[in-house]
A = this chain, B = another copy of it.
């Protein structure tokens, strides 16, 4: 029986994991797809380097054409990363009728629509489960399992580094800088952690999820991302007292036919299923009108979880090849982009304010909120921290983003307010 030939672009930890799984599970894979799977060519930067897996040197190449223009290759697995050049490689492979499996969220967030459309035109599969929450089959669940529901909200803890940092800060009362350093020492955070801690990585994943969940075109530029570098251990302490847990949350919310996609540090009630997702774990919470609340939990990254997702996609591609139906499952996005304005984005807010400790301050603050019709759900009275200074923490009822931004600016200008120390979005259940 003819073996299926794989070309692998990249041989880092994930690529090595893919090779290991394919070799260790030949029996099981054979049982599932009915034919052997063989890694034929692997693109590397350097031929002589020592490898994490034993590999026949003749399989390695530094010339991408040996894969993307090689008529013997059936499926290209892309684990090299990068965006522009990688896109060109994959488009070329697709034109050569090769099926694609990729783990590249940056690529899919920016060029996903273009690549999927090219794949569909050429009768090729393009699967990308590993691009979001590596070990969690969330894309498959959105495409198939929840296909008959109307999803109205997706909330994701989709970045392991920031979840590790926030968990440590919360559980051990440590400062952001100290935990970041520890995470870097442990290899959980990169030397330049900007993409993680500023929320960009999460934003890319939310674009991919929002497109699928709402069947609507969403671009990376549409996602407002705020990271965790300003989160203060004191905020976590107050959040705790009020019954909340802080998470860096990607939020994709649909009301009627308009959507909002954003990433920001967010307070969640402790009873919310996302609140107990700790350390480097990821989870995606999905609210569907019929199904109600569901959540998918698992490792967000790591070479083996990611490699497992890739091989599962590969199995799907090979099954489709044997059935002769590659490219048949791609469905174009149903809705055109329709984004909420800041007047249509509603949520609760947490504000921590340092005000002058004098008569009438609180009523002055309240009057700013009242002017915009926003009332308080919770107020925390705090002991004066330094002479003449009162610390006030409030959680509002729901307000539009626009009202909130105007309230924020007016508070900041009040003569009696010394500083707005922090402000966060607060989410509840899907209804709240």
Contact = CB atoms under 8 A, between A and B. Distances in A.
Interface of A: 17, 21, 25, 28-29, 31-32, 129, 135-137, 140-141, 144-150, 215, 271, 273, 275-278, 281, 288, 290-299, 302, 304-305, 307-309, 311-312, 314-316, 319, 323, 325, 328-329, 331, 334
15 contacts: A17-B290, A21-B290, A32-B147, A136-B294, A137-B141, A145-B312, A147-B315, A149-B312, A276-B276, A290-B307, A291-B304, A291-B305, A291-B308, A295-B298, A296-B297
Nearest to A299: B292
Most buried by B among A149, A293, A304, A314: A149
A135 B291 contact: yes
B308 A135 contact: no
A138 to B, nearest CB: 9
A324 to B, nearest CB: 8
Given A144-B137, A325-B325, A150 B25 contact: yes
A147 B37 CA distance: 15
Most buried by B among A276, A296, A297, A308: A308
Contacts of A298: 291-295
Contacts of A275: 276
A282 to B, nearest CB: 10
A148 B319 contact: no
A329 B325 contact: no
A271 B311 CA distance: 30
A211 to B, nearest CB: 15
Contacts of A293: 281, 297-299
Most buried by B among A145, A325, A331: A145
Nearest to A18: B148
A32 B25 CA distance: 34
Contacts of A271: 278
Given A292-B302, A293-B299, A140 B145 contact: yes
Contacts of A150: 25, 28
Nearest to A294: B298
A389 B141 CA distance: 55
